[in-house]
Amino acid sequence: MITLTFLLVTGGIVLAPRLINFIYGQSFSPSILAFQILMVSTGITLLYTIFKDALIVANLQQKFFLAIAAGAVINVVLNLILIPKFSLYGAAAATTITHSLIFFILLFFIFRFTGIRPSFKKIFTVLIISIFSSLIMALAISRPQIYNLNVFLSAIIGGIVYFATFFTLKEIVQYLKKTLYVQRY
């Protein structure tokens, strides 16, 4: 999920102006920033879906409901505060903050009420590789030669760059782990 989330969020943020203008036209340009903020929210939602599913499998649906209920209350409060001052950007920010809160509540519930213990070493490795791959992809699709192509072609090229970088880095990390393990013993 981390791998796909970083691909989608980074691609969505970088290509947001092209996507909005392609689908809705120039008159919707003010929505670009809101879309970019909501792409972060989408990424957070994709990541916490794993925790939601784990709670359901563990027959702890009520914990998921509590997290969503807390998120709903926080979202209403944040909307009341942020929309009058920031309009649609405030609503987008409120949604992103809400999903972040739900993420941390679900993570707490996973540790508190289940025996699931994620391997932070593996997660950290995938996270670093995903971040670096996202940066390389963002640099590639931001170049005018790629950015100014058809938006879907730009997205495909971005995906190819992302996965090529991701799998190359993954192989390098695995090689280094094997080399360091052999040298250690």
CA 38 to CA 135: how far, in whole Å? 19
What pLDDT, on a 0 to 100 scale, did the predictor assign at position 54? 94
Residues whose CB is less than 8 angstroms from the CB of residue 72 and which lie 6 or more positions away in sequence, other chains included: 98
- Express each pLDDT in 40-96 by its tens digit: 999 999 999 999 999 999 999 999 999 999 999 999 999 999 999 999 999 999 999
* Tokens coding 77: 């409060």
The structure's pTM equals 0.90
* Domain span holding position 172: 2-184
pLDDT (mean) for 25-32:
96
The residues, ordered by sequence, that sit 6+ positions from 6 with a Cβ below 8 Å of its Cβ are: 43, 130, 131, 133, 134, 162
Kindly report the number of other CB atoms within 10 A of residue 71's CB atom.
Answer: 20
Structurally, how many domains does the chain consist of? Answer: 1
Q: Is the pLDDT of residue 185 over 80?
A: no
